[in-house]
Structure 1
Amino acid sequence: MSSISTDTDELYKKISELKENIVRLKQLKLELIEKVKKMREKRREKIAKAKELTQQINTIRQEYKMKLEEFNQLKERRKNLVEIIQQIRKDFEEVKKLSSQNLGNPDSIERKIRELEWKLQTSSLTLEEEKKVIQRIAELEKKLQDAKKAMKIKEKKTEEKAELLAKRVELNTIREKIKALVNEIGEKKNIIKKLVEERNKLRDEINNLNSEIENISKQIEDLNTEIKNKSNELNETQRRLKSLQENPVQVNTTEVIEKKKKSIEEKLKQNKRLSFEEFLILYGEVDNKDGKDNSNIR
């Protein structure tokens, strides 16, 4: 009976240890589940923040694009104004140059041309004289063209002076706008860069959280398997204890036979000779219902 008492104590001890292990594993599992919940909540917050940053980036990029288009339009307008101002200045220089030539009145020049043409038609001139008249008419026609041009420019000189002033004012305004736009575009570019860096950092953190969550989820699965195995082992141990308590002689005899079988199997593996009783134990039929066996084991 002392052997049965020892077996019972060992089973009680094992049951106690298994229960403690199961409680410990379940507690660890709950802690991991709570940790995963917090990490998933943290991940949701970071995903929401990343989406918010993406919206901000898209909005500022659109503003950046609009400012860039405005900048290009102003550059084109500035180019046109510079060309207009240069043309007006060129006209003024040409008026100044023509005025210094003392071109005279266009009407007077035209009258002289008509007189020379009449002379060609009505007078008997030598070839040399005719050549000189024709040359003179050509000179007067060139002078007439310059005189008309000078008069035309003079007529709008006052208008062009006002236009020149207006264009200069507009040019200065555009230059200031371009300067301000360059600063705005640079600021928006820097903001976009910072937001993209922040979003990329968040994405890295989200990826790290995904890895951690996946790792912890695997640990929880392993714990579930371990808890299940421990629970099965606990059930089997409790079953053995109950069986021992209900039929101590049968259980004890069966355990003795199992131990002897293992010893005989080891002997057989070593190619050692077996006794008749050992053959009966290894291959015979054992009847434990009444606490006896047909192997005559003592």
Structure 2
Amino acid sequence: MTEAAETPVEDIEMLREKLRELKAKARQDLEELRRDRDKMREYKTLRDEHNKEVRALIESVKAEREERDRINKEIAEAKERRAAIHAQLKSVYDEIRELRSVIVGSPSTDQRRMMRRVEELEWRQQTELLTREDEASIVEEIAKIEATLVKIGQEKEKQDKIHELRRLARRLKDEATEVHQKVLELSEQSQTHHQEVVRIRPQLEQYKKAADTAHQNFVEWLKRVKEGEEKLKEARTQIEEIQGKIRKYASEKQTASRTEKRTQQKVAEQERLDAAVEKLQSGKRLTFDEFILAQRVVSDDSRRRPFRHEAADEDDGDTSESVEDAASTEEAETVEEAMTPSDEPSDDEGELDAELDTEPLQDGQDSTDS
């Protein structure tokens, strides 16, 4: 007796019922897995968008800082130049103060006054009749004035030097003012870039926080997706195991059914042969088919009578051949059957099998680094 014959029908029905339950549950798990994957992809997309914003803001902050640092470098250079000008200006003023400290009187005023005095004395020499003492006195005074004028000439050189130093001081002050104005303008530009960095920083932190939150949600849904895929794998394994048992039962059932049909056909054919021979031997009326069968058996029996035992065996063989010929058509029909109608999967089950076969697992694989 085959295993199919030994398997109770109730057990097969239980397997089919369990298969339907597993497929229904697998269909629900599959839909839930798809929803989880959609949610996971949603958070992944959101995380990637936030990370893109973060990278853009980081680049903006970097550019603003680089520009600010470049301007600050120019400010430092301008301040150094301004300090050098101030040092040079201080040196000029120190030199002016030193020259002014050694100048006696006002060279221009004293010189004009003394030159008028010399002219007056020379005019007296030319126009007046002077005594020897007066003449000597005028000559001596003119000599003293001329000596003083020589000293006054030296003081005038100092005064000219002071004027030159003052002109240099004015140029240095103008240059220092220009450099100072440049420092102020550059400082304002630097402050603008610094304020832009300060303005961007809260946005950057906000996008970073949003990206971290989206990544955490993505990781959680990724975990759920992997768990769902594992459940679906287990369900698929159970479904395939039960389907294998049902297919094995159906195959064994078909084999047993075909064997039973062949046996019944052989018995029926043998009964027809025996009945035809009996009618022929008893002189009863036979149909044409019965006559042909009986005639063939009797003829074979007559030819093989000396070898009765062997003939009996050969008759069995001929009978088997006849039975097999008669059953050939039936066997061809049964061979074409893959399974009985009750063993065929329903449209829903076939659709689920296709979904389970085509549904990609591990679709949610992704880096968990934000």
- Normalised TM-score (structure 1): 0.55
> Counterpart in 1 of 2:193?
188
Structure 1 contact 91–153 (Cα < 8 Å) conserved = no
1:160 corresponds to 2:165: yes
| Cα distance change on mapping 1:87 and 1:152 into 2, 3 Å | farther
Aligned partner (choices 171, 178, 186) of residue 183 of structure 2: 178
> Counterpart in 1 of 2:24?
20
Structure 1 contact 95–150 (Cα < 8 Å) conserved = no
- Displacement of 1:67 in angstroms is 0.9
The number of aligned residues is 205
5+ unaligned residues in a row in structure 1: which ranges? 104-145, 249-298
1:54 corresponds to 2:58: yes
Deviations 1:202-240 (A, max 9, x none): 344434433333332222121111112223333445566
Structure 2 contact 103–158 (Cα < 8 Å) conserved = no
State the AA in 2 paired with 1:93.
R
1:95 corresponds to 2:102: no
State the AA in 2 paired with 1:232.
T
Structure 1 contact 92–157 (Cα < 8 Å) conserved = yes
1:234 corresponds to 2:239: yes
Aligned partner (choices 201, 210, 213) of residue 215 of structure 2: 210
CA RMSD of the aligned region, Å? 3.7
| Cα distance change on mapping 1:38 and 1:196 into 2, 3 Å | same
> Counterpart in 2 of 1:33?
37
- Displacement of 1:244 in angstroms is 7.9
Bigger radius of gyration: 2
1:63 corresponds to 2:57: no
CA distance in 2, matches of 1:149, 1:177: 42
5+ unaligned residues in a row in structure 2: which ranges? 1-7, 108-150, 254-370
| Cα distance change on mapping 1:100 and 1:15 into 2, 3 Å | same
Aligned partner (choices 203, 224, 230) of residue 225 of structure 1: 230
CA distance in 1, matches of 2:153, 2:40: 92
State the AA in 1 paired with 2:46.
K
* 2:194 partner SS: helix
Percentage identity across aligned positions? Answer: 13
1:84 corresponds to 2:71: no
